[in-house]
Structures are given as structure tokens and as C-alpha cells.
Amino acid sequence: MAAQQPNLTTFLEWAAQLGVSDAPHHHPPSTVSSSCLGHSLSISDFPEAGGRGLAAVRDLKKGEMILRVPKSVLMTVESVLEKDQKLAHCVQSHDYLSSTQVLSVCLLAEMNKGKRSAWYPYLVHIPRSYDTLSSFGPFETKALQVDDAIWITEKVTSKAESDWMEAMSLLEQLQLKPQLVNFRAWLWTSATISSRTFHIPWNSAGGLCPVGDLFNYAAPGEELADAEVCESWLGDSLLSFQNGGEKEDPLLDAEQYDAWSDRLTDGGYDEDVAAYCLYAKKNYKNGEQVLLRYGIYTNLELLEHYGFVLDVNPNDKVFIPLQHDISACHSWPADSLYIQHNGKPSFALLSALRLWVTPPKQRKSVGYLALSGSQISLENDKKVMKWLLSNCRALLNSLPSTIEDDQSLLGAIDKAQQLQSFEKPINMTHAATMEYCKFLDLCCGGSDVLALSSKVKRSMDRWKLAVQWRLRYKKTLVYCISFCSQAIETLHCKWREMENL
């Protein structure tokens, strides 16, 4: 599992020989270049936007096919077992394993073959470490600060260990190299599958898609032309009193939602051409990074499955604790009750809180207003906004560091990464200094200045991600406090206007 820097040219030539191509459908693959790229895409570096990715080598039009990967190139459970009858026989005697567990075993078995693997040029190209939640150690996990995030991190790590133990009998039967049977190797396969597989219709584990997994991620919602469809689904109904309190925010019907969700991903397996086909979902200029939308993810989900967070993620959510009597007065699912990335309460959360602050005896008669997104009364909305504001403040105050602390800490981490060495912190807030020194003690034994080892660098990368995630979480709470404050002021103004009539 030692880190390697394989020659990308060899990899792209291998892919081209197997039929991978970025040539337009009507354009035959070039006989001049042996690479699978060059007609539409090229590998480029985007240090400020995801690192290595794929750039347009010409102007691309929305809807244009930009890459196709034949089924035979995909690394799936079926394609691996078809080529390895011994492995297939062993897997058959372990039918209690899930599809994802079997794919993990297949990946380890192919790694064990080395150059004998049919996917060797691709396998040496896969990263040897990841920053997904399952790779977080105790320090990085605690650095997330928020109980729900810590719980999810511990849960995914525990699940990975449980899956590994269940698959141990099969791994031992295959007599793989010792370094491919330990838990560290299993965490690597789990992260590889979580972060790099594409959906395929015939196996829930998905499949690894050589070349296709070079695309970086774009969050759905950033460039959707039909933004109003998304807005109507989310239900941005607060302050509907400005329209006389009669305006409703309709939810999407099934047909609208299907049409909208079709735009959340940028490709899929096409049975007609027996290939995975990827499309440009917007117009790109020559040189721009071409991005894929894998689906809707919050920042915590991106960290869990892919190992990164977005500074601006239109699909991010903050869930705040809700007392039992709030949950008891409505039928909205729990995962619909959240604060949006911009600080506004979701349609369901606003509806639930409007019902909750309504006296129980009146809920039946006015419930239809809350469920339709309409205001019940000025006083009702005022109570809702005050409750949200108070609870967001309490949540912020319960966390061990402030936004200022986290920004100070990120500055120190960035400096250490640039200098490739640790220095005792100066000009930092107290909380940031304490956390920085604790990391220094854990990794370096408290030395004043120390060059960063590869192991410390990886741990620092994960620690930085944890701080970035909790900073975005706190900013969303601050946005909500600001939103509620402005809403309360607007409600006061409206109340005074009504009194003067």
C-alpha cells in the first residue's frame, strides 16, 4: 500500500486501448493521439478548486457527451468475478456478505495481483490515502465539536470494522498479502468505494470508472437554470405576510420532482451503447474545470463519503435539537427539519414551529395555514423567530470555540502546511492556541519547530477539514440569528403599520 506516482500517460493510453474516449459521439477517436483524452478534456491542476481535475480543451455545450467508458472497463463485482473464477468460487461460499463488502474484497484481490491484474494501470493510479470520516482518528473526530458529527464519524468507523470482521474469513481464504488483510487496508477499500464508485443499475455497490473518477464535484443548485423549481421545493415561505399572508409555497408534485432530480447527476450507464456516458450540464469555456454533480450532499455527507467540504454548499443543512413536544405536533420527517445554508429555516421546520407555538386547541383550525406555508399571525411568526434565534445562540455558546477561534486556527494550519513545519503559535486566540498545542503535543511531542512527516501531514489535513466543517456549521447558525433578527424587526414594523390604520 505504499504511495506511488504512476505515469498518467500510460494510464490514459491503456484506457484508450480499451475504448474510453472523450471524442464527441459523431467524431471518431483520433488516430494521431494514443490518449483517451484530448478531444474534449485534459487533466489539469486546479489548486484553488479541488486540486487535480479535468479541464475543457475546447468550448463545450450543455448536454454534450464528454466522456464514455465501456462496460468492459468498469471495475464491478461482476467484471472482476468473471475474470477470476477462483475468486468467484470463494465468494459464492460467503453469500452473507453485502455487495459492497464483496466489491471491497474484489478490489483487494486485484491489488494483490499487482501487474497481473487487468486493471493494473488504473489501480496504481488510485490514491493511497483518503480524508473521509472513516479515516479520522480520535483527535480529528473530537475537533468536529458537534455531537451529531462526532456520532456519525464513530458510527462509520464502527461499521467499517464490523464489515471487515465479517469478511475476514473470505480474506483469509484468498491468502492475500498480510498488508492487504488488515483493517487499514479495509478502510482504504471502503474509502475508495465510497468516494470513487459510480451508480450502475445491476449492482447496488456501484462500480469503479477509470478516467470518469477524475472529475471533481459541483453541488447541485449552483448552476441550475430552473432555480425557482428548487426554491419552491425547499419552501422559502418566511415573511409571506408581505403578500397579505395569503401566499402559499407549493411543494413539487411527483412529475416536477422527477424532472428536477434528473438534473442532479451528470451521466449514467447507457445500455444502448454499453458504456457509462457523462455529459456537460452547462456550457464550459476552453480551459475551465469541468465538474460533475454526484447528487445532493450536505458538507458532513461530503466529508463522510468523499473527504472534502465546500465553502459554499447550497445543499448544506444544520439540524438543531427539537424538544419532544415540537416533534409531536406535526408529521414532517425529522430529516426535513433543518436550517438551510443561508440561515433560513426549511419549509418543514418553519411549518412545524408555527404549529408548535399555536395553542393546542387552535392547531386543528389553523393547521392548514402552516402546512401550506402561510403565516398564521404576526405574533405567531414573532414567537417562532425568537425561539430560533435563542436556540441558535445557545447552540453556538455550547461549542468550545468561536468563529474567530476557528479562523485563527485555520490561518495557523495553512502557515504550517506552507512552511512544511510546525512552529509554536503566536498571535492566536486562546482557544485556538490550546487546540494547536494539543495537536503539536500529540504528533510531535511538543517540539518548538519540527518538519512535517507524511503521517502528520495526513492527520493535519483531516484536522483542517474538521475545523472547516465546524466553521461552516457555526456560520450557518450566525446567518440564522441574523435572519431571525431581521424578521423580528420586519414583524415589528408590520405590527406598527397595522396599529396606525
Average pLDDT over residues 197-224: 86
Do 80 and 58 have their domain in common? no
pLDDT digits 0-9 by tens, 304-313: 999 999 998 9
How far is 421 from 406, CA to CA, in rounded Å?
Answer: 20
Phi, psi of 200, rounded to the nearest 5 degrees: -130, 145
Q: Is the pLDDT of residue 171 over 90?
A: yes
Of residues 322 and 244, the one with the higher pLDDT is 322
* pTM of the predicted model as reported, rounded to 2 decimal places: 0.86
Instruction: Look at residue 317 and give its three-state secondary structure.
Output: strand
Do 160 and 188 have their domain in common? yes
Residue 100 forms part of a structural domain? yes
Of residues 52 and 463, the one with the higher pLDDT is 463
pLDDT digits 0-9 by tens, 172-196: 999 999 999 999 999 999 999 999 9
- Average pLDDT over the chain reads 85
Distance in angstroms between the alpha carbons of the first and the last residue of the chain: 76
Average pLDDT over residues 463-481: 97
Residue 326 forms part of a structural domain? no
Residue 214 forms part of a structural domain? no
Structural domain including 19 reads 1-71+264-299
pLDDT digits 0-9 by tens, 395-439: 999 999 999 999 999 999 999 888 888 777 778 899 999 999 899
Residue 455 forms part of a structural domain? no
Q: What's the distance, CA 378 to chain centroid?
A: 38
pLDDT at 156: 96
Q: How confident is the model at residue 4 (pLDDT cuts 50, 70, 90)?
A: very low
- Express as a percent the part of the chain with pLDDT over 70: 86
Phi, psi of 333, rounded to the nearest 5 degrees: -65, 150
Instruction: Look at residue 145 and give its three-state secondary structure.
Output: coil
pLDDT at 46: 84
| 3-state class percentages of the chain: helix first, strand second, coil last, to nearest 5 | 50, 10, 35
Do 198 and 86 have their domain in common? yes
Average pLDDT over residues 121-135: 93
Average pLDDT over residues 265-287: 91
Instruction: Look at residue 469 and give its three-state secondary structure.
Output: helix
Do 86 and 162 have their domain in common? yes
Residue 350 forms part of a structural domain? no
Q: Which of 27-36, 209-218, 434-443 has the lowest mean pLDDT?
A: 27-36
Q: Is the pLDDT of residue 44 over 50?
A: yes
Do 81 and 57 have their domain in common? no
Contact (CB, 8 A) for 346 and 230: no
Do 57 and 96 have their domain in common? no
Average pLDDT over residues 381-390: 95
pLDDT digits 0-9 by tens, 211-260: 999 998 887 764 443 333 333 333 333 333 333 333 333 333 334 434 43
- Of 177, 192, 208, the position where a domain reaches its end is 208
Do 64 and 133 have their domain in common? no
Do 43 and 114 have their domain in common? no
User: Whose CA is closest to 56, among 218, 217, 267, 289?
Assistant: 289
Contact (CB, 8 A) for 94 and 170: yes
Residue 136 forms part of a structural domain? yes
Residue 306 forms part of a structural domain? no
Q: Give me 287's grid cell.
A: 480551459
Average pLDDT over residues 483-499: 86
pLDDT at 33: 59
- Express as a percent the part of the chain with pLDDT over 90: 64
pLDDT at 453: 83
Q: Is the pLDDT of residue 160 over 60?
A: yes
> Could you give the number of structural domains in the chain?
2
Q: How confident is the model at residue 317 (pLDDT cuts 50, 70, 90)?
A: very high
pLDDT digits 0-9 by tens, 45-90: 887 766 789 999 999 999 999 999 999 999 999 999 999 999 999 9
Contact (CB, 8 A) for 438 and 143: no
pLDDT at 225: 34
CB-facing half-sphere around the CA of 467: CA atoms within 13 A: 26
Q: Give me 178's grid cell.
A: 498480510
pLDDT at 246: 35
Do 117 and 150 have their domain in common? yes
Do 99 and 192 have their domain in common? yes
CATH number at residue 295: 2.170.270
Q: Which of 6-20, 60-74, 169-183, 461-475 has the lowest mean pLDDT?
A: 6-20
pLDDT at 67: 96
pLDDT at 275: 95
pLDDT at 50: 64
- Of 164, 190, 208, the position where a domain reaches its end is 208
Do 153 and 88 have their domain in common? yes
Q: Give me 32's grid cell.
A: 494521431
Of residues 375 and 299, the one with the higher pLDDT is 299
pLDDT at 235: 36
Q: Give me 243's grid cell.
A: 403578500
Q: Is the pLDDT of residue 462 over 70?
A: yes
Of residues 51 and 129, the one with the higher pLDDT is 129
Residue 146 forms part of a structural domain? yes
